[in-house]
Amino acid sequence: MSSVRSALAFDPKLELMAIGTKSGAIKVYGAPGVEFTGLHKDTTAVTQIHFLPGQGRLMSLLDDNTIHLWELVVGTRSLNTHRFTLHTLLLLLLSATRVTVLLLLRSCDLLCIGTEGGGVYFLELPRLSLKDDQTLLQDQVTQSLPDDYRCGKSLGPVESLQEHPQQSGKVLIGYSRGLVVLWDLSSRQVEQLFLGKQQLESLVWERSGNLFVSSHNDGGYSMWPVTSGNPNIHQPASSTIPYGPFPCKAINKILWRTTQTGSPVLLYSGGMPRASYGDRHCLTIQQDKDHVTLDFTSRVIDFFTVHSTEQDKEFDDPTALVVLLEEELVVIDLQTPGWPSLPTPYLAPLHSSAITCSCHISNVPPKLWERLINAGKAQQGRQQTWPICGGKNLAPPAKQQELLLTGHEDGTVRFWDASGVALTPLYKLSTANVFHTDCDPSDDPQDPSDDPDMQQEEEWPPFRKVGCFDPYSDDPRLGIQKISLCKYSNKLVVTGTAGQVIILGLNDERSDHLVDVSVVDLLQDREGFTWKGHDRLEPRLKPAPFPPGFQPLVLVQCLPPASVTAVALHAEWNLIAFGTSHGFGLFDYHRRNAVCTLHPNDSLAMEGPLSRVKSLKKSLRQSFRRIRKSRVSGKKRTITTPTTEQEEVAPVQRRIEPRSADDSLSGVVRCLCFADTYLRDGTHHGPTLWAGTNSGSVYAYALEVPGVGSGRVGERGGASESSACVEAVLGKEIQLMHRAPVVSICVLDGRGKPLPDPYEASQDLAIAPDMTNAHSVLIASEEQLKVFSLPKVSAKTKFKLTAHEGCRVRKVALVVFSSAAQEDYSEHTLVCLTNLGDMHLFNIPGLRPQVRYDCIRKEDISGIASCVFTKTGQGFYLISPSEYERFSLSAKVLTEPLCSVQLDRLLEPRPARNYTTLLTALLLLHLLDGSSTQPQANGTHKNQMGQAEGMCEYTLTLFPSPNLLSLFSL
């Protein structure tokens, strides 16, 4: 599903904005939290949208030549709240010729339809009947033309229809050839002809109606006086090609807005010099001597101004310019000198740089939330009022604050407020300034090329880069791969494509400092290995400026500089673990030293009890030697594993196909996990690290963390302990029989519950784990779920998901489901997303299947890969590169629009009349009558103003013919 924008409209009375997409969706937005969505039956691009001002209705024109009338319809709900619904009441198809432009008269009783054949048709609203006596064909206009202008040529398609701003019923009709006709609907006569000779693109009236402006395909625009007594105007009052004299591209649309200062504001898209800037996507704003060319990174679809529309007002006085681009929405403040951009509370481009990973943080502490808000405000500068402010948000305040973090290809991490319906941008973190990159500015302070003022004075047109959509990355090595945030200690870890692991801390002040760099060789100078991939990023060797927010403390550079595939953070122990396709490492960022590294294929031969295992470094060297010998001899090494079961497979499960051990990706580390549990024996618990690989191997390490001993988690020692080093010893190794990639590892306490996050238990933010009963570890591979007892690591229970059609586990999460009926009751549940797009829910630790949901289309590979779960049973996945779909598996935790709009009409739909077939009338009664057996989607319609949220759709398709409107489909 593509969400690329394709149409735009604005209702100045309701202050609502509508956006159409290439996939056939219509989305209506008002104030933050006010949002409605409608979907056309077919996934056809929406090419035009027009509001019926104040009525909550709009017309849409699709690329398949159909016209749809949408309506906000009220329905009752409990607690006296109501629901607006977008209904399609009509699809009108002009089969004879293609529709090029629509004009809805201010009276909202007549729709003018311009066509490719040059005809103009008129549709009466709301009866939806074609007014044959008003149809204006091109031949009728041609008869009124002077002989020297006819030349036997066609006038071309109708390019623009504009109603006179002061005199209702008079319409400007612009034809592609350049002719503009002022047509009087009441007398059905040509009142004035404007004999343009340049190909026409668009028209706009000046507010008084004494002149209009036309734009043309040569990159120019003309001003035409409208005076009585002269039926034929041969020449415009003035013509200008602003970016000439060399050939320019067409000005696709132009607006003229008057102001009290006396100088009008002129806004137009296109017009760039073909040879120099023909590939630029631009929109120009001019007022007197002020001139700026907004330079965008995607195509301009449409734009409008927020201005005064009352008839008794003398001036337009525009306050904001709203520009819809293919990939983003940009709003310009026209009241502030310099015309700055406004930050958007919604519709911010998620894909400003391609999304590479995501992470959800629930129940964010208020202090952290406040500090992120302040850091974001420092980036955005002065806050302005959002100009699209229609409707009222009825949603109650969020019970908890939620963050969605997205990592991007350009090395940025963006923080989004995910507490409500819309994703609102809070703060952006860039990691590029940790490194030297090709996009670094010149180090010479005297270099004039770095002075933006100098550039603006010398450059023509006066370009200004606007918007944040940037599909190109200056260096793909900057791409973010994994994110981990500790919301209690404010420590953040981000990892990248070139093996970089960055530990950051939150600082409310700007800082200039040097980032500590540690290099970790995951292969430990292995003999005979040559890295053939990209080079590592070069870290800055001088102090760099870092704005308020998360600032880098330590850079850990993995060698070889392969992409980081897994990361884990334990802020209470000051440890991070990271993995690549060449192994994994453990790093103490408090003492700035690497604890250990291990290549997944170089596992230790576990002989005897744990106490006989020597130090890790010595054991690793011995292991490497044994590995080389075994590879030369071709013999397979035996690994201590739990007993592999060969019991009969249950009917609900499927047999697993074993995988080859020679998989080239077998060394990829898929997941990492810290846990305070029992690994050495059943009486002493302590810090552990678990790692799972692509070949079905799981490694468990016992960690010696100074100040953290058995039963003393969170306690810190004195000065002697501060100089001690963290140690790691391999305690257990598990090899899954079918070598399926390990997706997730989670340690469960004595009650079968997941262990709390770091600091949660020690600061009484969560129930302390049960350390009196035996622990267990839940290991999820792509093919099965399995629970092992600890510390013996013996299999307790399992469930095989692999189906004959190729079902594979893609995402796993442990979720807390709270009861909607009983406030104090909740359950921990394992949620699995498969490559077929369905969700499987299992209880833990018994792994009994509970329910299955179809969620994502199995063909949507990127959607499945991007899915991220929340801890409360919701989830996000990308339905396009620029749009997240939010879903909920919980009956209690729902996020949905709750909003209202005050309309200038009765809310009961009015059935169409004057149809000539009895079948049509009966079907309309069945569809719209409240007493029919057709169920109302959202309750009973009422003859009153109303407020609500939600959506549903009625569809009717009609083909017009000279004598009859017949029903096509319902």
pLDDT tens column, 829-854: 999 999 999 999 999 999 999 999 99
Stretch 133-162: mean pLDDT: 90
Look at residues 598, 624, 655 and tell me which one is the last residue of a structural domain. 598
What is the pLDDT at residue 471?
A: 77
- Decide if pLDDT at 632 tops 50: no
Domain limits at 496? Answer: 373-437+468-598
The answer to whether residue 515 is domain-embedded is yes
Average pLDDT, the chain: 82
Q: What is the pTM of this model?
A: 0.84
- Per the document, the length of the chain is 970
Q: For residue 509, is it left (φ>0), alpha (ψ between -120 and 50) or beta?
A: beta
Q: Could you tell me if 589 and 686 lie in one domain?
A: no
For 776-843, what is the HEC assignment?
Answer: EEEEEECCEEEEEECCCCCEEEEEECCCCCCCCEEEEEEEEEECCCCCCCEEEEEEEEECCCEEEEEE
Q: Could you tell me if 869 and 778 lie in one domain?
A: yes
Which of 100-109, 582-591, 883-892, 950-959 is predicted least confidently? 950-959
Q: Could you tell me if 684 and 570 lie in one domain?
A: no
Q: Scanning the structure block, which residue is given the tokens 């949208």?
A: 49
What is the pLDDT at residue 40?
A: 86
Q: Could you tell me if 685 and 553 lie in one domain?
A: no
Q: Could you tell me if 587 and 731 lie in one domain?
A: no
The answer to whether residue 288 is domain-embedded is no
The answer to whether residue 764 is domain-embedded is yes
The answer to whether residue 475 is domain-embedded is yes
Q: Could you tell me if 686 and 539 lie in one domain?
A: no
Q: Could you tell me if 594 and 678 lie in one domain?
A: no
The answer to whether residue 746 is domain-embedded is yes
The answer to whether residue 919 is domain-embedded is no
What is the pLDDT at residue 127?
A: 72
The answer to whether residue 486 is domain-embedded is yes
Q: Which residue has the higher pLDDT, 81 or 166?
A: 166
- Decide if pLDDT at 126 tops 50: yes
Which of 449-463, 528-542, 916-930 is predicted least confidently? 916-930
Structural domain total, the chain = 2
For 209-248, what is the HEC assignment?
Answer: CCEEEEEECCCCEEEEECCCCCCEECCCCEEECCCCCCCE
Amino acid, res. 241: I
Q: Could you tell me if 555 and 688 lie in one domain?
A: no
Q: Could you tell me if 534 and 393 lie in one domain?
A: yes
Q: What is the pLDDT of residues 32-48, one digit of tens each?
A: 999 888 888 888 999 99
Look at residues 553, 579, 598 and tell me which one is the last residue of a structural domain. 598
- Written as one string, the DSSP assignment of 19-67 is EEETTSEEEEE-STT-EEEEE-SS---EEEEEEETTTTEEEEEETTSEE
Look at residues 555, 580, 598 and tell me which one is the last residue of a structural domain. 598
The answer to whether residue 272 is domain-embedded is no
What is the pLDDT at residue 944?
A: 32
Q: Could you tell me if 738 and 851 lie in one domain?
A: yes
Q: What is the pLDDT of residues 50-83, one digit of tens each?
A: 999 998 888 899 998 888 888 886 543 222 223 3
Q: Is the dihedral of CA 680, 682, 684, 687 positive or negative?
A: positive
The tokens for 65 are 């030549």
Q: Could you tell me if 680 and 562 lie in one domain?
A: no
CB 721 within 8 A of CB 707: yes
Q: Could you tell me if 526 and 387 lie in one domain?
A: yes
What is the pLDDT at residue 721?
A: 53
- Decide if pLDDT at 670 tops 50: yes
Bridge partners, 120 (sequence order): 114, 136
